[in-house]
Structure 1
Amino acid sequence: TSKLFKTSKREWDAVSVSEPKKLVATMPNRMFEVI
């Protein structure tokens, strides 16, 4: 469990702020494509 937590935290910390912002901005288009 500790290894999983450490690995998850390391990967989470590596995500730049722009990545989630880009995903949020493109959500309507991606949802439209699914529907």
Structure 2
Amino acid sequence: MELANRILIVPITRSSAPTGIPEPAYAAYCPRRPKATSP
């Protein structure tokens, strides 16, 4: 499971790199947050 989480967070964090906001990465790890749908 750790591998899957890492693979899911890696690409998301990469896309957020330019934005500098780790919020999307955290939202992906925690689908409970409604911000997960945020672009």
Band of TM-score, shorter chain = 0.3 to 0.5
- After TM superposition, the score normalised by the length of structure 2 is 0.36
Larger Rg: 1
| TM-score, structure 1 as length reference | 0.39
Structure (1 or 2) with the greater helix fraction: 1
